[in-house]
């Protein structure tokens, strides 16, 4: 019996979990419906310097969304430039005028004492691009906020400068990661801080430029948030907001099922999946597009280029990151997501006691799996094509197939070899599924190499560019209007927790836990992964694993699978000292 079937059988009669039930199960995480208010963090300058123009520049160490405060007894006119980057002369500026990298010149008169510098509002991030998915507005008391790391004082009285950052109350102390790769540690910290800094709207949003939630962005944000905190309330709020305000891409809507499944598995709480079950099944599965002949979705193709009403395939974004993907009415990427959705809906239905629906979804999934092979597999190359009627095999079609369990064992090696050769031929968003695919194929070393690579298509490349929050795209050439505050590039954070450290729930709410570390060439790692049942702490080398777990645990290490009760345990490779 598969792990998913075991999960479903164990909770077939489950009812929505109330607060008392959560306590009885030993939950330590917060109620996922306990939505929190935004908080303020006062950040003093990490460095004060004088730039090439002879002006004082305050560097607050990291970019954050908030406002600038001036303090001191002196009063008088001021002129200050706030921004996210500095140039070679340490002047606060934006040298990329087409981008959404923020820079703003502010003038006014400072009174005596503490003073908040007023800033003009941005009309776009107060309304968004799409009336059906409007921008998220902050509570009125927060006023206008703005992302910045630097403040350059052009003129003004003597004063102290303070960055006041706004964010959701995320406990950054509940998680930790260290290893013998300085590069991977740096990527982890970059991604971890991104989750905090981009939570300023109280819902997962698409950066500062739009401040609009999108399902694909939110799903990756959700997984990465789970990697650092046991509070699932922000993820749930974001998921349920998107259920009421869906966006346009086919695959984005499919991510709502994935968000619902992850919400349930990580929190152990069935109230949200019960609330939205019918809409997930009728709207997000998109079964109205399934062909009677083989069960595959026939969505029509790309937006504005043949897509059927109610669908609009996107594959990846921006356009240049699609590895030459050839859109067809029946699309391999869309159908890989469809297969994943059907499996997850079978689990969800079982959790809610809807056994007939669970069997229906499971049967549909098996049919789609078989049809997927017939429609998209190309024996001459050993790869999966982008769609019916083309032999072009993109990274995206093959990564999605491998990540979602659609590649038979005897084909895995060829597909994984292809993905390794391709490298990062996708966006920061689809990197999530490329990394998932490599770990599914046992290619952990290749995945770790990608996460620790350098250059302008890498996470370290974002840091080298000067960003302390993840960027919307790999580089300015890939997306000229990019901004520097996007969490949809945070795949390494959840991949490190879920794949490198290998900590995942087997049963909802971490009532049973899997620990399956894949070092990927690392010599050691230590991690603390928070869960609603309590933290999982582990220390791993190629020869040993020490861990503590709050729940019964299934461990896969050094080629062996073993079961352990809650507590602290140690495994040593046979023959190792």
Which helix or strand (DSSP H or E) is residue 383 part of? strand 383-384
Q: Write out the H or E segment, with its range, that includes residue 104.
A: strand 103-110
- Tell me the C-alpha distance between 242 and 214, whole Å: 7
Specify the length of the chain in residues.
577
**Burial of 323 (C-beta count, 10 Å sphere; 0-12/13-18/19+):** buried
Residues 6+ apart with CB under 8 A from 244: none
Each residue's pLDDT, cut to its tens digit, for the chain (577 residues) gives 333 333 333 333 333 333 333 333 344 557 999 999 999 999 999 999 999 999 999 999 999 999 999 999 999 999 999 999 999 999 999 999 899 999 999 999 999 999 999 999 998 888 877 777 789 999 988 999 999 999 999 999 999 999 999 999 999 999 999 999 999 999 999 999 999 999 999 999 999 999 999 999 999 999 999 999 999 999 999 999 999 999 999 999 999 999 999 999 999 999 999 999 999 999 999 999 999 999 999 999 999 999 999 999 999 999 999 999 999 999 999 999 999 999 999 999 999 999 999 999 999 999 999 999 999 999 999 999 999 999 999 999 999 999 999 999 999 999 999 999 999 999 999 999 999 999 999 999 999 999 999 999 999 999 999 999 999 999 999 999 999 999 999 999 999 999 999 999 999 999 999 999 999 999 999 999 999 999 999 999 999 999 999 999 999 999 999 999 999 999 999 877 6
Where do the H-state alpha helices sit in 326-425?
Answer: 332-351, 355-376, 395-403, 409-422
Q: Is 517 exposed, middle or buried (0-12, 13-18, 19+ CB in 10 A)?
A: buried
Q: Could you tell me how many helices (H) and strands (E) the chain has, helices first?
A: 17, 19
Q: Measure the CA–CA gap between 30 and 32, rounded to whole angstroms.
A: 6
- Sign of the CA dihedral running 218, 222, 223, 224: positive
Q: Are 287 and 356 in contact (CB under 8 A)?
A: no
Radius of gyration of the chain (CA): 24
Residue 229 φ then ψ, to 5°: -150, 150
Between strands 553-557 and 512-515, the pairing is: parallel
User: Going from the N-terminus, what domains does the chain have, and what CATH number goes with each?
Assistant: 1-11+248-451 (1.50.10.10), 41-167 (2.60.120.260), 512-572 (2.60.420.10)
Rounded Cα distance between 338 and 343, Å, is 9
DSSP 140: G
Q: Is the dihedral of CA 398, 402, 405, 406 positive or negative?
A: positive
Q: What is the four-CA torsion angle of 60, 62, 64, 69, rounded to 10 degrees?
A: 0
Question: Phi, psi (5° rounding) for residue 417?
Answer: -60, -45
């Amino acid at each position: 019996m598969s792990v998913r079937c075991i999960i479903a059988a164990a909770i077939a009669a489950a009812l929505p979990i109330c607060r008392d039930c959560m306590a009885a199960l030993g939950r330590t995480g917060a109620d996922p419906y306990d939505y929190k208010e935004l908080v303020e963090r006062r950040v003093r300058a990490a460095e004060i310097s004088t730039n090439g123009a002879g002006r004082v520049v305050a560097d607050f160490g990291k970019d954050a969304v908030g406002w600038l405060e001036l303090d001191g007894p002196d009063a008088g006119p001021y002129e200050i430039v706030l921004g996210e980057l500095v140039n070679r002369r340490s002047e606060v500026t934006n040298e990329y005028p087409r981008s959404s990298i923020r820079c703003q010149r502010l003038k006014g008169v400072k009174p005596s004492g503490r003073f908040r510098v007023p800033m003009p509002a941005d009309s776009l991030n107060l309304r968004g691009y799409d009336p059906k998915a409007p921008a998220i507005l902050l509570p009125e008391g927060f006023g206008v906020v703005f992302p910045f790391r630097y403040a350059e004082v052009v003129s003004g009285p003597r004063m102290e400068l303070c960055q006041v950052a706004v964010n959701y109350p995320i406990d950054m102390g509940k998680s930790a990661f260290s290893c013998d790769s300085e590069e991977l540690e740096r990527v982890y910290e970059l991604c971890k801080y991104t989750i905090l800094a981009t939570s300023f709207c109280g819902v997962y949003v698409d950066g500062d430029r739009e401040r609009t939630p999108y399902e694909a962005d939110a799903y990756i944000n959700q997984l990465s948030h789970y990697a650092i905190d046991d509070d699932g309330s922000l993820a749930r709020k974001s998921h349920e907001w998107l259920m009421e305000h869906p966006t346009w891409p086919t695959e984005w809507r499919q991510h709502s099922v994935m968000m619902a499944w992850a919400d349930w598995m990580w929190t152990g709480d069935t109230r949200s999946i019960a609330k939205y079950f019918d809409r997930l099944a009728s709207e997000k599965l998109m079964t109205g597009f399934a062909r009677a002949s083989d069960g595959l979705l026939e969505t029509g193709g790309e937006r504005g280029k043949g897509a059927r009403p109610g669908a609009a395939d996107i594959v990846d974004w921006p356009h240049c990151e699609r590895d030459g993907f050839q859109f067809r009415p029946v699309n391999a990427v869309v159908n890989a997501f469809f297969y994943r959705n059907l499996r997850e809906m079978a689990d969800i239905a079982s959790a809610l006691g809807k056994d007939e629906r669970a069997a229906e979804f499971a049967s549909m999934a098996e049919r789609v799996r078989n049809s997927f092979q017939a429609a998209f597999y190309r024996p001459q190359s050993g790869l999966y094509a982008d769609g019916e009627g083309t032999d072009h095999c993109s990274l995206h079609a093959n990564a999605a197939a491998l990540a979602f369990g659609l590649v038979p064992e005897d084909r895995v090696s060829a597909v994984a070899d292809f993905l390794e050769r391709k490298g990062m031929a996708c966006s920061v968003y689809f990197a999530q599924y490329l990394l998932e695919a490599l770990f599914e194929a046992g290619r952990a070393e290749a995945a770790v190499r990608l996460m620790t690579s350098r250059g302008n298509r890498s996470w370290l490349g974002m840091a080298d560019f000067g960003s302390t929050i993840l960027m919307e795209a790999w580089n300015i050439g890939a997306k000229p209007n990019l901004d520097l505050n996007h969490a949809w590039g945070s795949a390494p954070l959840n991949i490190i927790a879920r794949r490198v450290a290998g900590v995942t729930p087997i049963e909802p709410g971490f009532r049973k836990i899997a620990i399956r570390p894949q070092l990927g060439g690392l010599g050691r790692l230590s991690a603390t992964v928070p869960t609603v049942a309590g933290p999982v702490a582990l220390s791993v080398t190629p020869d040993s694993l020490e861990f503590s777990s709050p729940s019964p645990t299934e461990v896969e290490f050094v080629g062996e699978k073993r079961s352990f009760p809650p507590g602290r345990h140690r495994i040593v490779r046979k023959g190792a000292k």
